[in-house]
Structure 1
Amino acid sequence: MTILDNPRPAFSDAEAREFLRSHFGVEGELSPLPSERDQNFRVMTAGGQALTFKIMNAAEPLLAIEFQTALLRHLEDCDPDLAVPRIVPGAGGRDYVLIDGAAGQHALRLVTYLPGHPLAQEAKTAEVLRGLGSLLGRLDRALAGFGHPGAHRSFDWEIRSTPLARGRLHAVTDPEQRRLVEKALDIYDSRVAPSLKHLRSGVIHNDANDWNVLVADGRVNGLIDFGDAVHSPIAAEIAVACTYAMLEEGSPIEAAARIVAGYHAEHPLQDAEFAVILDLVMARLAISVTMSAARRMGAADDPYLFVSEKPAWDLLRKLSAVDHRIATGILRQACGLEAAPGARRIREWLSANRRNLAPLMNPHPVRQAKHVLDLGSPDEPLAAASAAQDHEAADRAYAELVRRHGFSLGLGPWGERRIIYTAPFFESVLAEGTRRNVHLGLDIFAPAGTEMFTPLAATVVAATINPEPQDYGGLILLEHEPEPGLRFWTLWGHLDHASVRERRVGERLDAGAFVARLGDYAENGGWVPHVHLQLSTTRYEDVSIIPGVGEEAYVDVWADLYPRPYDFAGLTIEAFERTGRTREELIEKRRERLGRNVSLSYSTPLKMVRGEGVWLIDDTGRAYLDCYNNVAHLGHCHPNVVQAIARQAALLNTNTRYLHDTIIDYTERLSRTLPKELDTFFVVCTGSEANDLALRMARTYTGRNDVVVLDWAYHGHTQALIDISPYKYKRKGGRGRPDFTHELPIPEIYRAPIAGTPEEIGGHYAGEAGRIIADMAASGRVPAAFIAETIPSVAGQIFLPPGYLKDVYSHVRAAGGIAIADEVQVGFGRVGSAMWAFEEHGVVPDIVTMGKPIGNGHPLAVVAVRREIATAFANGMEYFNTFGGNPVSCAAGLAVLDTIEQEGLLANASDQGAYLLQGMRRLQEKYPAVGDVRGRGLFLGIEMVRDRSTKEHAGDIASKISNRAKELGVLMGTDGPHDNVIKLRPPMIFGREHADLLLEVLDRAMADILH
């Protein structure tokens, strides 16, 4: 016979007063208090003291009485301020007294009375519920070191007795109710029972129902009745309290979350405990409702027993529809924890590895023009048509958006509040009267039949078809484990049924493997064709219950359970969130604030907001393959350079008037790449500064002013350099050639005036240069220097003929001048075969200038010079450059040099350059307008002509191809005297896949323009 089978004590008030007087020496007014199995009274003494007098059930074992007594004494010692009753000793100092009654022996106990009203009679405010959790947390923390033989008992209300409820199932006659209980018991058997050995146990109160919790002045003021105290899993304490607090609540999980948050703040819960709280609540409800059903006939006259029966059934029904993963996530996040353990690590891994994942589709989504659709506004035709499942109207609305915004992919962002979910199954099971309307995945709209690929290796967990309107249609669930212990899942919805049927559960898919095709209206739940891509950080056995839409109240929970899949899809945040001014606003502001001759690239300017390796990303999140901007020598934002800059900037940045190691470390490291004759360095900020300084040195050293240059050369933007740059002084706004500047013809092989071998052509041009220099000397204009880009760039990517540079250097030096190699664009390994382009010509310049690439975008440039020239320059006039040679810039330069060596980038430039040249020559065979293809390493040019026989320049064609390539996602430029040379200078990290893309886009752009 259990305690519950013994009748509750029924002594008269007079008998109770006599017990109180004779055994405790206390007299007062008694008021009955409710209790399920004991007889309780509130005592008010003549002196105004309030006490509680308890006559215990005769079936209460003596060991249990001693256990409760020891428990209360322990709490008094460990936490004297805890709001629980304190024992008032009886005669002789006894903590309890035994008396005889008709049903047996009863224990009498007198304790302090805690003021307040039962929570059952008060509002369950957020403050009250959190306070209840806090009180229970303090209680269990105080009991953590307490033990007693009486705590180890088995009775129906102890949570581990849940399986006994199956023996009472026969009393539940309603089939639906029976199914609810069976589900709760099945969950206990499958999820709770196996985890019991992993759960902390201790002595708990075990009955924090709303009649045992006291509230005063809107705050929890006490916890009474330790009759159910027992050694049990700690999590059961929370579960019992939550069970009663959740009754008749519109948002029961939210009520539980407040209790759990208060508890966790005082006595932190473990992951395994969070995971079973909802299951234990359902177990407690199963115990309660089966107990009530079994005892209905015998105790029908006791309203206390059945006061919560209907609310209990209602709550059990609600919780049966709640995903325990979601409920656990809500509880965890209320405590300041991740909704799913490890969610942050998954997000961080995906963010760090986004650029290394295989493309989700072809072309990669990040490379395509995109537009974010608005499915949250009733004024948007596409949203209204989708909500109404009007396919024709949806098609028209989508086509109009494409026409208006010119995109190839429509995007439906994660977290969007939408109006389109009108089916009944979108009603919330978490909060009454609300609907699920927050999108928990990423929608990518593309034509039906579009193929999708997995960015990461995967195992197929599920492949099914949900045919209901507004459901997923074809549906696949993949599991990914990119590194040990890092596991997450991706759901792919709205797929073509045939491709879904191709998948097999357990099938392994490599990164980049085909997953499925997009379905049409008939197969995808009736939506405009798209894929719903969703991440999950928790495992699901049944893919059909993964929610694709959630409630607004729990957006932060969804961010952990179902994180944004943007990184997984390879998309950047700019695709969804625009910042700063629009392009049109920027163009207008440039007109207002910047000089009019600060130019823009392309007929339709781009706004770039991010650089990543070989990619530039615009304000719409579209990535462009950068084959033009050679400043980012190692690719944009190379982590080695970024980290070096950040480290040094955090330590020191000063100038060369102070001693610091970095400039010496850098110049010594740089000297090892150069001929030994170039042993002295000046570190400046820009290539223009470097060339200007080299020119000053040459003129100081020689005492002369005249300079020999190549026609169409460009060396910088200072006035001294404009004066020696035909590219500037010959064009609009230029003042013509100064008399101290002397031009040599561009020594180009493609348009050479003579026929012959490259060596013969080089000899012809060198001979002409020698005659010009001799004429200068004869007229008294002996040159101070000859300055030339080793590969003239703005002249049209001109590669100097063999022997030419060596002969010209000889002519200049014979006349008393010095040779300056401008390697600003072509140095630092860009030619692949050597660190410096001049090395291919077998010459050693007197001065080498470098800039742009050497800091990978950080302002850094260098002049390397022979010692005797530097000595002559030290003529008493101080040379000082405020920022030149600062520690941060030098740290960036060191990182560039180290990376070139560590990553084998010279060899890469050779390999990729040869591959590109081969591909470009195939294009030359295919398109007659391609007059010449030339290049070395990653410095390449394609000359466009109207007719190969006449070699007539075709600058308009080159410009159109460049602009079309930009539309296709690849950046390139044009140069040459007639702007008819397509100029290509990809980053040194350019890979084979990038080379293939460049060739593919060149082919398509040429086809579009030339056919």
Structure 2
Amino acid sequence: MTDLSHPAPRFSASDAEGLAKDFFNVTATATPLDGERDRNYRLDTGVDAGWILKIVNSSEPRVESEFQTALLDHLAVHGAHLGVPHLRASVAGDYLPSVASATGEQHAMRLVSWLAGTPLAEAKRSVALMSNFGRALGELDRALQGFMHLGAVRDLDWDLRHAARSRSRLHYIKSPERRAIVERFITRFEHTVQPRLASLRAQVIHNDANDWNILVDAETTRHVTGFIDFGDAVHTVLIAEVAIACAYAILDMDDPIGAAAALVAGFHEKYPLQAQELDVLFNLIAMRLVISVTFSASRQDQTEDNPYLAISEAPAWRLLEQLDSMNPRLATGILRKACGFDAIEGAGAVRRWIADNHTSFADLVRPSAAVLNKVIAPFGDASHEMTIASAEQRPADATRWWNAFSAAHNVPLAIGPWGELRTIYTDSAFESRFIKGQRRTLHVGVDLVMPAGTPLYAPVAGTVKSVEVEPDPLGYGGLVMIEHSPSGCPPFLTLWGHLAHEALSRLKAGDKLEAGDLVGYMGTDTENGGWIPHLHLQMTTDTQLSASEVIGVGEPEYREVWADLFPDASTLAGIPPETYNQQGMTKAQIIAKRKELLLPNLSISYTDPIKFVRGDGVWLIDNFGRALPGLLQQRVPLGP
């Protein structure tokens, strides 16, 4: 590899003009370009697009220079449609002639075509551009698939397989807070990513698709037109290419993971990624930034002389700080879902098992939620007095309203649906970690509003994972998490929030619960986080999450991701889907149609007729999601 301490070649612009003429028969005006190790000049001929003359650092092994030349030659054949530099042979027919410096050192030279375009770093970024970038990068790596050269096997600090070397540069970071961020990422890489890299696909990649090496259409900046600077190309894990591209492309974007997801989806469209590759992507994105900022810190005294070394340091730190605030498992779910995978392995299987086995579940409340009269709680209506009282942390007022409504309408149960958009969450704790300036508003649990003290029972057998109290205002209060491992289903967790604190003295981690066993009681507003008494029931298919990591409210933009990670627990709670969706003719329309088509002896015996929409075993389900015994509804008409 190139010795980074070895100075760049000392050739002036005038020298470059002479070399271009003598070796390549190109008459041009030379302008210096930034570079870390080599000396680069743009050559303006006035008659064509121009050229770039690269004078290679003398410490770079010849085989590595030959590798980069062979790579461009390969792309000229297998990726002719791609925007990459084209080689120009010397007058002697050589693509890599050598020249001696004034000190006698030998330097390889390469002349490649200048590519027109605007660097991505200077373009207005959009999700559409990220998607196009991903597709272009996927095509590039697809063209490189199968290409190999001895010089591709090189020891490069910028190879993400060696990202843990950044630990040796930690002491250069002066800020203790920033140093702690970087150390957390390095430790996570060492423990959870590095051991898995050997099992991932590897090939030759560009390895430096940063925003200055990507060119976009100068007029519209809507699509990528070219890739430049293959000086860091290496044989390494394929997913590193995507990680590096993401690390720079999403700098200073309001929704960096959303932008990364668009890029990844574009790449996947042209060069399908594997689920296990996506599982390490988030951490590899962060580690590329870690390599960058630790190198910048270690060479701080060189920054004034070579601003190229710190060109992206400030935005890199901003992104690292934002990534550090994110849960990597949730971010990984976003990236997996963008490529059509479950947000976590097994999510679909859990949902199918719940749907297929719903008749075997024990009742969560007694009588079952299925047979109770119920309404949708007004948490989704920002103007409703119960919602306003809850948002203003006046739970007693919210409870008084509900008690009066419940008694007046004979409705003992209110349901807060999964997927409901709510403005009730005003505390700073609900600010999005993924999207700048946005709050989390999509409810990803199911609420059951009933009186404090209502007992709650496990619908499925499980093992208590944790019992705790979340003390924050509008938090969960008493909180129990249970792990379930039913036969024929991947394991999943249920979270029971807003419980009475008595559960802490009765349950502990490791306790076994059978279906129908008591989990806890709905808590009062003094112990449930300051809410109207209710249960927040939530499932998660990620058994590695702790109770504090399970978000009860998510970003609407990632609804499909949350549906995988936190499936709707309504069926588990015994709530029929008709509770939320009423379709078909109304009762009045059905009665009118009966009078039109049926004889009088087939009259209706109910003062308030029931509209049944389907059967479920021995039960008939009405249009409000209420289950009634089927035999009680049978009326046998008599007659000829």
TM > 0.5 fold call: yes
Q: Could you say if the C-alpha distance between residues 49 and 23 of structure 1 is closer, same or farther in structure 2, counting changes exceeding 3 Å? A: same
* TM-superposed deviation, 1:293: 0.9
SS at match of 2:632: coil
Q: Distance in 2 between matches of 1:9 and 1:129?
A: 36
Q: Look up the equivalent residue of 2:499 and give its one-letter code.
A: L
Q: Look up the equivalent residue of 1:110 and give its one-letter code.
A: L
* TM-superposed deviation, 1:485: 5.8
Partner of residue 390 from structure 1, selected from 373, 380, 394: 394
SS at match of 1:289: helix
Q: Could you say if the C-alpha distance between residues 585 and 10 of structure 1 is closer, same or farther in structure 2, counting changes exceeding 3 Å? A: farther
Are 1:463 and 1:501, in contact at CA under 8 Å, matched by a contact in 2? Answer: no
What's 2:251 paired with? 247
Q: Distance in 2 between matches of 1:46 and 1:381?
A: 73
Are 2:2 and 2:37, in contact at CA under 8 Å, matched by a contact in 1? Answer: no
Q: Distance in 1 between matches of 2:306 and 2:444?
A: 48
Partner of residue 452 from structure 1, selected from 445, 456, 479: 456
Q: Distance in 1 between matches of 2:592 and 2:633?
A: 25
What's 2:182 paired with? 181
Q: Distance in 1 between matches of 2:495 and 2:631?
A: 36
RMSD of aligned Cα (Å): 2.1
* TM-superposed deviation, 1:209: 0.4
What's 1:89 paired with? 89
Q: Look up the equivalent residue of 2:559 and give its one-letter code.
A: V
What's 1:100 paired with? 100
Q: Look up the equivalent residue of 2:106 and give its one-letter code.
A: Q
Cα shift readout 1:354-403 (whole Å, capped 9, x = no counterpart) = 11222222111111111111212222111101001102211122123313
Q: Distance in 2 between matches of 1:25 and 1:410?
A: 83
Q: Distance in 1 between matches of 2:140 and 2:512?
A: 51
What's 2:373 paired with? 369
What's 1:470 paired with? 474
Q: Distance in 2 between matches of 1:591 and 1:601?
A: 14
Partner of residue 331 from structure 2, selected from 308, 327, 346: 327
Q: Distance in 1 between matches of 2:126 and 2:150?
A: 38
Q: Look up the equivalent residue of 2:295 and give its one-letter code.
A: M
SS at match of 2:334: helix
Q: Distance in 1 between matches of 2:637 and 2:545?
A: 67
What's 2:194 paired with? 193
Q: Look up the equivalent residue of 2:412 and give its one-letter code.
A: S
Are 1:500 and 1:516, in contact at CA under 8 Å, matched by a contact in 2? Answer: no
Q: Distance in 1 between matches of 2:59 and 2:172?
A: 25
Cα shift readout 1:870-901 (whole Å, capped 9, x = no counterpart) = xxxxxxxxxxxxxxxxxxxxxxxxxxxxxxxx
What's 1:50 paired with? 50
Equivalent residues in 2 for 1:494-573, closer than 5 Å: 494-573=498-577
Structure 1: gaps of 5 or more residues: 632-713, 722-1011
Partner of residue 380 from structure 1, selected from 379, 384, 404: 384
What's 1:157 paired with? 158
Q: Could you say if the C-alpha distance between residues 78 and 506 of structure 1 is closer, same or farther in structure 2, counting changes exceeding 3 Å? A: farther
Q: Could you say if the C-alpha distance between residues 424 and 49 of structure 1 is closer, same or farther in structure 2, counting changes exceeding 3 Å? A: closer
1:63 is aligned to 2:54: no
What's 1:440 paired with? 444
Q: Look up the equivalent residue of 2:477 and give its one-letter code.
A: G
Q: Distance in 2 between matches of 1:113 and 1:54?
A: 12
What's 1:408 paired with? 412
Partner of residue 493 from structure 1, selected from 480, 497, 517: 497
* TM-superposed deviation, 1:528: 0.9
SS at match of 2:435: coil
SS at match of 2:357: helix
What's 2:203 paired with? 202
* TM-superposed deviation, 1:76: 2.4
Partner of residue 419 from structure 1, selected from 405, 420, 423: 423
Equivalent residues in 2 for 1:6-25, closer than 5 Å: 6-25=6-25
What's 2:582 paired with? 578
Are 2:496 and 2:538, in contact at CA under 8 Å, matched by a contact in 1? Answer: yes
Are 2:491 and 2:543, in contact at CA under 8 Å, matched by a contact in 1? Answer: no
Partner of residue 608 from structure 2, selected from 604, 626, 637: 604
* TM-superposed deviation, 1:345: 2.0
Q: Distance in 1 between matches of 2:92 and 2:511?
A: 77
SS at match of 1:534: strand
Q: Distance in 1 between matches of 2:102 and 2:338?
A: 51
* TM-superposed deviation, 1:629: 5.0
Q: Distance in 1 between matches of 2:407 and 2:345?
A: 45
What's 2:233 paired with? 229
Q: Which moved more, 1:450-459 or 1:282-291?
A: 450-459
Q: Which moved more, 1:595-604 or 1:51-60?
A: 595-604
What is the TM-score when the length of structure 2 is the normalising length?
0.95
Q: Could you say if the C-alpha distance between residues 49 and 246 of structure 1 is closer, same or farther in structure 2, counting changes exceeding 3 Å? A: closer
Partner of residue 356 from structure 1, selected from 350, 360, 376: 360
Q: Look up the equivalent residue of 1:506 and give its one-letter code.
A: G
* TM-superposed deviation, 1:5: 2.0
What's 1:681 paired with? none
Count of residues in correspondence between the two structures: 636
Q: Could you say if the C-alpha distance between residues 499 and 273 of structure 1 is closer, same or farther in structure 2, counting changes exceeding 3 Å? A: same
SS at match of 1:26: coil
Q: Distance in 2 between matches of 1:197 and 1:516?
A: 47
Q: Distance in 2 between matches of 1:153 and 1:100?
A: 25
Are 1:338 and 1:560, in contact at CA under 8 Å, matched by a contact in 2? Answer: yes
Q: Look up the equivalent residue of 1:403 and give its one-letter code.
A: A
SS at match of 1:497: coil
* TM-superposed deviation, 1:490: 1.4
Q: Which is higher, the Rg of structure 1 or of structure 2?
A: 1
Are 2:2 and 2:61, in contact at CA under 8 Å, matched by a contact in 1? Answer: no
Are 1:383 and 1:419, in contact at CA under 8 Å, matched by a contact in 2? Answer: no
What's 2:617 paired with? 613
Q: Could you say if the C-alpha distance between residues 2 and 35 of structure 1 is closer, same or farther in structure 2, counting changes exceeding 3 Å? A: closer
What's 1:145 paired with? 146
Q: Distance in 2 between matches of 1:500 and 1:625?
A: 38
Cα shift readout 1:450-500 (whole Å, capped 9, x = no counterpart) = 222222221222222111111111112222222356222211111122214
Cα shift readout 1:269-307 (whole Å, capped 9, x = no counterpart) = 111111111101111111111111111013333222212
SS at match of 1:297: helix
Q: Look up the equivalent residue of 1:101 and give its one-letter code.
A: S
Q: Which moved more, 1:138-147 or 1:405-414?
A: 138-147
Q: Could you say if the C-alpha distance between residues 32 and 485 of structure 1 is closer, same or farther in structure 2, counting changes exceeding 3 Å? A: farther
1:299 is aligned to 2:300: no
Q: Which moved more, 1:78-87 or 1:364-373?
A: 78-87
SS at match of 1:482: coil
* TM-superposed deviation, 1:521: 0.9
Q: Which moved more, 1:542-551 or 1:83-92?
A: 83-92
Q: Look up the equivalent residue of 2:494 and give its one-letter code.
A: T
Equivalent residues in 2 for 1:953-968, closer than 5 Å: none
Are 2:349 and 2:489, in contact at CA under 8 Å, matched by a contact in 1? Answer: no
Identity of aligned residues (%): 43
Are 1:76 and 1:86, in contact at CA under 8 Å, matched by a contact in 2? Answer: yes
Structure 2: gaps of 5 or more residues: none
Q: Distance in 1 between matches of 2:206 and 2:102?
A: 29
Are 2:382 and 2:422, in contact at CA under 8 Å, matched by a contact in 1? Answer: no
Q: Distance in 1 between matches of 2:626 and 2:551?
A: 30
